């Protein structure tokens, strides 16, 4: 596997794709950014996001079944009729640790199940402010341990997440490593939120259509509940990253957290972790949620499948 950072080449878009991308950008700015607004009660944010999720387009032929893993609630995502999936993928959704559910991320989990021929479990972890750190990490760790103890070989496990779920994915891998448990085959991080100090955030790029600094500050305070933001399990960019599994990062040029993805990639390289960073021009935060409509989102998830399936399995 190549250890590299890659600015994904700009491809000539069809007129139809230019229209689709423009519409998606406008709709996301008008709906999601106004939902993720500092000062808006978290209950309202959750309701509004749930309504918006009903407009998403999960892939056809994929089932979404409520269930649990080790007593942790979530959603099983599978392709019915597919021969027994050997690969297990644990998915941790984004939402600033305060909003989001497995149902809000079905576009991503459904496409990953289909493309990776995997059985996906999306964890419905507890949210702040009602349940600050370490509740979300405890839930994710309990689900991972249950799957491994239930017979899934760690070499057949992938852990993935977006935004806050990307930070949680990294914190979970650190927890497994420090507990002496076997590590998954690979990690996949979509625009991970890995630095709750917010100390390196730039001014928002003009193309940002989802996140604002005030909202991230509000979510960080809720999740931290007074804890030191430099705790490596809160801000894993500050952790000792040695010994982690091969890691794929994807981000867009038009998002507030791009710099954190670059910093994390550099940290992984310095720690000797096989890592790859793919940066998609003109794309926004977690644009993979638009798979099935946006060609770049489909291309990004195809790249995830190649990465996951081609990663050498450690004996």
- Mean pLDDT taken over the chain: 93
Of the candidates 241, 302, 287, the residue with the CA atom closest to the CA atom of residue 266: 241
Q: Which of 56, 78, 105, 163 is catalytic?
A: 163
pLDDT: which is higher, 315 or 110: 110
Of the candidates 281, 289, 253, 295, the residue with the CA atom closest to the CA atom of residue 95: 289
Say what the pTM is.
Answer: 0.95
Residue 196 included in any domain = yes
Q: Kindly state the average pLDDT of the residues 268-290.
A: 95
205 pLDDT band, cuts 50/70/90, is very high
Retrieve residue 1's tokens: 């596997």
Residues 193 and 164: beta-carbon distance below 8 Å: yes
pLDDT at 139: 98
pLDDT in tens, 164-191: 999 999 999 999 999 999 999 999 999 9
Residue 8 included in any domain = no
DSSP per residue over 120-167, as a string? Answer: EEEE----TTTS-TTHHHHHHHHHHHHHHHTT--GGGEEEEEETHHHH
Through-space distance between the first and last CA atoms of the chain, rounded to whole angstroms:
16
pLDDT at 56: 86
Q: Is the pLDDT of residue 121 over 90?
A: yes
Residues above pLDDT 70, as percent of the chain: 95
Cα 185 to Cα 196: distance, rounded to the nearest angstrom: 27
pLDDT at 5: 55
Retrieve residue 149's tokens: 């103890």
Q: Kindly state the average pLDDT of the residues 188-202.
A: 96
Give, in degrees to the nearest 5, the angle at Cα 146 between 142 and 149.
135
Domain that holds residue 139: 15-310
Q: Is the pLDDT of residue 85 over 90?
A: no
Q: How distant, in Å, are the alpha carbons of 168, 201, 283, 284, 294 from that of 289?
A: 18, 23, 11, 10, 9
Residue 27 included in any domain = yes
Cα 312 to Cα 147: distance, rounded to the nearest angstrom: 21
Cα 241 to Cα 264: distance, rounded to the nearest angstrom: 10
Of the candidates 116, 99, 98, 214, the residue with the CA atom closest to the CA atom of residue 156: 116
For residue 287, is it left (φ>0), alpha (ψ between -120 and 50) or beta? Answer: alpha
Does the active-site annotation cover 163?
yes
Could you tell me the CATH number of the domain that includes residue 179? Answer: 3.40.50.1820
pLDDT at 8: 66
Residues 102 and 124: beta-carbon distance below 8 Å: yes
Residue 6 included in any domain = no
13 pLDDT band, cuts 50/70/90, is confident
pLDDT: which is higher, 8 or 290: 290
Of the candidates 311, 307, 308, 219, the residue with the CA atom closest to the CA atom of residue 257: 219
Q: How distant, in Å, are the alpha carbons of 26, 32, 207, 251, 277 from that of 4?
A: 32, 32, 25, 14, 7
Residue 216 included in any domain = yes
Q: Is the pLDDT of residue 22 over 60?
A: yes
Residue 3 included in any domain = no
> Count of domains in the chain?
1
Residue 315 included in any domain = no
Q: Kindly state the average pLDDT of the residues 198-210.
A: 92
Residues 148 and 158: beta-carbon distance below 8 Å: no
Residue 4 included in any domain = no
Residues 103 and 194: beta-carbon distance below 8 Å: no
pLDDT: which is higher, 278 or 4: 278
Q: Which of 93, 111, 131, 285 is catalytic?
A: 285
Q: Which of 75, 208, 255, 278 is catalytic?
A: 255
């Amino acid at each position: 596997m190549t250890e590299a950072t890659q600015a994904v080449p700009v491809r000539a878009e069809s007129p139809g794709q230019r229209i689709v991308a423009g519409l998606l950008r406008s709709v996301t700015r008008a709906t999601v950014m106004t939902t993720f607004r500092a000062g808006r009660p978290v209950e309202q944010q959750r309701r509004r996001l749930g309504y918006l999720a009903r407009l998403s387009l999960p892939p056809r032929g994929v089932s979404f079944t409520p269930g649990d893993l080790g007593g942790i609630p979530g959603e099983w995502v599978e392709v019915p009729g597919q021969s027994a999936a050997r690969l297990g993928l644990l998915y941790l959704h984004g939402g600033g640790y305060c909003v989001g559910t497995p149902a809000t991320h079905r576009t991503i989990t459904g496409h990953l199940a289909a493309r990776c021929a995997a059985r996906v479990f999306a964890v419905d972890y507890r949210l702040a402010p009602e349940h600050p750190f370490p509740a979300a990490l405890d839930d994710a760790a309990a689900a991972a341990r249950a799957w491994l103890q239930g017979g899934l070989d760690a070499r057949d496990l992938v852990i993935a997440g977006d935004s806050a779920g990307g930070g949680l994915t990294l914190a979970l891998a650190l927890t497994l490593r420090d507990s002496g448990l076997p590590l998954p085959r690979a990690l996949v991080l979509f625009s991970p939120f890995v630095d709750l100090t917010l100390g390196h955030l730039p001014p928002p790029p003009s193309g940002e259509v989802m996140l604002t600094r005030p909202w991230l500050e509000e979510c960080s305070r809720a999740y931290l509940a007074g804890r030191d933001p430099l705790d490596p399990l809160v801000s894993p960019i500050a952790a000792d990253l040695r010994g982690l599994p091969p890691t794929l990062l994807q981000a867009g040029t038009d998002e507030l957290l791009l710099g954190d993805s670059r910093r994390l990639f550099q940290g992984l390289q310095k720690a000797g972790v096989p890592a790859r960073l793919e940066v998609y021009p003109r794309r926004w935060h977690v644009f993979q949620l638009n798979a099935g409509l946006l060609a770049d989102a489909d291309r990004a998830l195809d790249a995830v499948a190649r990465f996951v399936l081609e990663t050498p399995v450690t004996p």
